[in-house]
Structure 1
């Protein structure tokens, strides 16, 4: 035996023992060449065997009635994941076992057709239209499917393709303009903010008027869980669902259509069906879009010099000179209108000499006396340009899907990022969804759908008050600069309105939501036309609110920084058992019914705390505050 450490191969030679290094090298290389040749011959042999075991079939798929070619038809080898889709001409070519098998031809709005392969090599397949196409079949309560002509209540169907890859954050925005009689109003223009949906109009003064949302048979929690109290700009629990995961939505408007959900359906019902895997070849889809947003028709304010001149005109018109040519207001005689205007709108220090009052110019850069003496030198700030920006949005999606006639799967991941058109605002969402369906037998089906998401709402105070970014931009005059000469933020000396740039960039306001929506079902056909279905669902939502107002803000300056933190957790368990019967007699007679039992348990917990007196604006943790103002749970 000769063992070569360098090549890690062995060779046996009977009756000979060699010790020469040269002979050792020669025999080893002879052995390697022989092994390589043997391997190549073995691979060629195996390839010929594989070719002998498979063959290729081809064909064309057309519409049975019109004879037109049908592109996109799924051609699947039954019992496997081997498949292909027809091209634009309806043609296909597929390798199949030499022993034969069965091909399944399927397409949306057409009846599936099975064809045994046998010895046939060229197929001509004519698919018949499905009388119960997607346009004619709608989903009502608890997954019941009915033909549209049989539904007496008001139902609106919206397909996911209608809003696919559109820059919308939540499914409620997808309803806007697509469902007749449904009012969709966004409470705020900031990304990720709340949306009000009214299916039947407002029905209550104090209670919620939002419809019931049901995802894959599971009623979910909606509304805003935020406790920060930033006015109309609330968070939106529906933003946790990626709109690109939706296959269709049904809006049950009338009481008769939504009656099966009881009192929860007082304001209507929105049924959401998510996308599932389809039988056929495995698919990988990468989606991306990006865009920009701008605010149009902004206010056109006065310039800084125009604003200062307006102040001068105001005091001149209100306090004309007396007969002696003096400017007298009450008992005070002013040196000039520039001094009077500066004292009125800037409140600087004053000096009185020989009965004449003048203003001492501190040169702070904000409404100095020199600006009133020569308005053309006054600074000019367009606050609209300061707070509005070109906002970018982008969406990334990666999807894996496929399966065979027994098992189908779909895995979708998504990342959505949208900046607000106002500084300091934005929304980010990362999500993933898994759906799996399995036909254990002809009478037993099981499946699951699980969605995970994390949404980050970057919020601003956009209320209609002196601390709101947009309202402050309207209230603060254009002669106030963003910064003083020393680099600190400038403020209106005549009022308490926040500097708009400070209001948009200095506060730290974040709402982060973690969401899990999952359901599992098992369906059994007990006897012909009679099915039992059990569904178990979980809706878990955890929201964390954080807000820190530093000393650079008006509110934070008075208390040496203010921090607020709130947490909310909502866990909703759901179990649904249903027994359904559906039997079609002839062509126009149908007998159907459903018996449902549902158990639901909801556990909610929240906490709220606030503190002031922080050692630094860089330390935002609630525990660092010297004074605990409030704590509730």
Structure 2
């Protein structure tokens, strides 16, 4: 081999070796630049470190967990990678790595898991929702606040599955029908109400003869602003606590109690009106149409032609005003707390002869003595005044649509100023009842039944 050939071979080997060296070095440098080390801390909603949080490189099985202080460290392939932070009862977070080297994450509680941890009153104590074996439905003060309610039982409507709510009458303060999982017996199907541990039943006021319209509402004396929660026990397990009275279910009402902290003064109130608009009213015949229709069935009412039309629905319906005012003082210290509330509610009915007024005072307090003894009291004082229509005036607006449209309601010669319904004032064969008279609170009817034999 000559010197020229040897020189060429050495030059080739030198160039080849340098190329291989730079290629390997470049790969090493690229690989080192792609992998970087991230560190950070995971905290809860209060800023405390969370131990055991799972941190996973998205799309891979690579991951790590946080230590006792919530700190972590992990290698990631590049800035486009994403990390998934997950922890029991907390909402998972998906975070893109980016160009930074520190990533701190704050996890927030999962609302679904939080609901399972809420405490429910079950008659013999309290349990977490996740531990319940019976069928229980609950609403909290969040479902009651800022709603124009006459009584808190109205808040149950549409809120709890298996519970059907229907009003017996549209007048304010009227009792409601509550059915838990349908009709259970051939007799009464009303559930048992337990208010702060005291069973309460619906009773009937027999001092006036207005049938079921004066049946009391066990919650009408309670200011909705004083309610903390309402729990509904829907299955047969309630009978193990309250006996046969719980055959139709149990509704447990818990009022607000004080909490540790500064004394707070809270006021809330509202005013409004209620009315039945013209498009919601029943269309009736005018005077000529009514007289012509009566003539077809043989009643001659031609003497009333030309009389003005009387809108009886407009006379019975009224614009109902409602006002609600509440004042609450609440607070406490380590071993003592209190909650005192006073309320005023005044609501007129959308028909004459209806109304509801309530003055209420509620006081709860708790005193803890040592680690064993605890004393407390719950006081509710309320005054209710409910105005209901007489038997003859029930559903006055609806029933008055059958009145002859020319029948005039007023007569100055009458002691109360009303026109009595006679053949001369309404016409022979026509129907008319003076519902203004029947719904006047000054009107009293005394009936003395006499049987002879």
Mapped contact 1:222–1:238 kept (Cα < 8 A) = no
Matched residues in 2 for 1:450 and 1:388: separation?
38
2:263 to 278, 282, 287: 282
Mapped contact 1:154–1:254 kept (Cα < 8 A) = yes
Please say if 1:301 is aligned against 2:279. Answer: no
The SS at the match of 1:238 is: coil
1:436 to 347, 351, 365: 365
Q: Which deviations, in whole Å up to 9, do the C-alpha atoms of 1:240-260 show, x marking residues without a partner?
A: 111111101110101125532
1:472 to 385, 399, 405: 399
Matched residues in 1 for 2:272 and 2:394: separation?
30
Q: Which deviations, in whole Å up to 9, do the C-alpha atoms of 1:52-77 show, x marking residues without a partner?
A: xxxxxxxxxxx9414679xxxxxxxx
Change (3 A) 1:467 1:140: closer
Q: Please report how far the alpha carbon of residue 414 of structure 1 lies from its aligned counterpart in structure 2 after TM superposition.
A: 0.3
Change (3 A) 1:467 1:341: farther
Q: Which deviations, in whole Å up to 9, do the C-alpha atoms of 1:18-37 show, x marking residues without a partner?
A: xxxxxxxxxxxxxxxxxxxx
2:205 match: 225
2:433 match: 498
Q: Please report how far the alpha carbon of residue 227 of structure 1 lies from its aligned counterpart in structure 2 after TM superposition.
A: 4.3
The SS at the match of 2:245 is: helix
Q: Which deviations, in whole Å up to 9, do the C-alpha atoms of 1:480-523 show, x marking residues without a partner?
A: 11224756423234467530211222555xxxxxxxxxxxxxxx
* Greater share of helix: 2
- Give runs of aligned pairs for residues 30-41 of structure 1, distance below 5 A: none
Stretch of structure 1 that moved more, 286-295 or 138-147: 138-147
2:219 match: 238
2:345 match: 416
2:195 match: 215
The SS at the match of 2:253 is: strand
1:194 match: 175
Matched residues in 2 for 1:280 and 1:434: separation?
18
Matched residues in 1 for 2:431 and 2:286: separation?
21
Equivalent pairs counted in the alignment come to 343
TM-score, with structure 1 as normaliser: 0.50
1:310 to 293, 307, 332: 293
Matched residues in 1 for 2:232 and 2:177: separation?
15
Q: Please report how far the alpha carbon of residue 134 of structure 1 lies from its aligned counterpart in structure 2 after TM superposition.
A: 6.2
Mapped contact 1:437–1:446 kept (Cα < 8 A) = yes
1:160 to 141, 150, 154: 141
Matched residues in 2 for 1:135 and 1:216: separation?
23
Q: Which deviations, in whole Å up to 9, do the C-alpha atoms of 1:348-402 show, x marking residues without a partner?
A: xxxxxxxxxxxxxxxxxxx7x2x33xxxx21211111010111111101111111
2:408 match: 481
Change (3 A) 1:156 1:468: closer
Cα-Cα RMSD? 3.2
Mapped contact 1:308–1:378 kept (Cα < 8 A) = no
Matched residues in 2 for 1:493 and 1:251: separation?
56
The SS at the match of 1:240 is: coil
1:180 match: 161
- Give runs of aligned pairs for residues 445-456 of structure 1, distance below 5 A: 445-456=374-385
Residue ranges of structure 2 left out of the alignment (5+ in a row): 1-41, 49-88, 90-105
Matched residues in 2 for 1:416 and 1:466: separation?
25
1:65 match: 44
Change (3 A) 1:444 1:629: farther
Mapped contact 1:432–1:453 kept (Cα < 8 A) = yes
2:313 match: 384
Please say if 1:260 is aligned against 2:219. Answer: no
Mapped contact 2:45–2:109 kept (Cα < 8 A) = no
Matched residues in 1 for 2:433 and 2:239: separation?
49
Matched residues in 2 for 1:128 and 1:165: separation?
27
Please say if 1:341 is aligned against 2:300. Answer: yes
The SS at the match of 1:417 is: strand
Matched residues in 1 for 2:171 and 2:162: separation?
25
Matched residues in 1 for 2:252 and 2:410: separation?
52
Mapped contact 1:304–1:480 kept (Cα < 8 A) = no
1:403 to 332, 344, 358: 332
Matched residues in 2 for 1:267 and 1:428: separation?
30
Matched residues in 2 for 1:294 and 1:68: separation?
52
Mapped contact 2:140–2:230 kept (Cα < 8 A) = yes
Change (3 A) 1:176 1:450: same
Matched residues in 1 for 2:195 and 2:220: separation?
14
The SS at the match of 1:421 is: coil
Matched residues in 2 for 1:161 and 1:387: separation?
37
Residue ranges of structure 1 left out of the alignment (5+ in a row): 1-62, 70-108, 110-125, 319-339, 343-366, 509-547, 550-561, 563-610, 613-627
Matched residues in 1 for 2:393 and 2:354: separation?
18
Q: Please report how far the alpha carbon of residue 176 of structure 1 lies from its aligned counterpart in structure 2 after TM superposition.
A: 1.1
Change (3 A) 1:442 1:67: closer
Q: Which deviations, in whole Å up to 9, do the C-alpha atoms of 1:320-374 show, x marking residues without a partner?
A: xxxxxxxxxxxxxxxxxxxx714xxxxxxxxxxxxxxxxxxxxxxxx7x2x33xx
Larger CA Rg, structure 1 vs 2: 2
The SS at the match of 1:263 is: helix
